[in-house]
Amino acid sequence: MKVKFKGNEITLEGKEIKVGDTAPDFIATDNGLSAVNSKDFTGKRAYVSVPSIDTPVCDLEVRKFNEEAAKLNNVKIYVISMDLPFAQGRWCGNEGINAVQTLSDYKDRSFGKEFGTYIKELGLLTRAVFVVDEKNKVTHVEYCEEVTSEPNYEAALNALK
């Protein structure tokens, strides 16, 4: 899979996830600095990987998923980035983001390694969306070909419904 950042090819580290795979477990940090283990997640969910929530495209993406998450029943959306938990919490509070949960991969890069989203050259996560069903099977995968482009919202949201 080839992914570019501003037209330049980048290296993604970790395992590439495909539809039908069992979603790998990962550990991330919540806004209160507590470790969160995905083994504890249940139900249908989406993992939305973004480079940094405080950039224009990520801002639009998180707002869109937040708006849509509020309309969905029995679905959880996790937005994961390398941003520090303090920055994530502050940004969400300032922007009224409350229907998605932000998680930071800054400490162990566990999500980036397990989902193949860690950008070697930048130390950030690439833009990607993974939908996981109630049985922990991946039902939708999108690694955006260009990191600075928005994902296909409709495809991800249809997979969540």
Q: Return the active site residues.
A: 58
Q: Which residues of 47-56 are buried (b: 16+ CB within 10 A; e: fewer)?
A: bbbbbbbbee
CA distance 14 to 148: 20
Burial class (CB in 10 A: 0-12, 13-18, 19+), 59: middle
CA distance 85 to 49: 15
Residue type for 98, please?
Answer: N
**Are 48 and 60 a contacting pair, CB within 8 Å?**
no
CA distance 57 to 18: 24
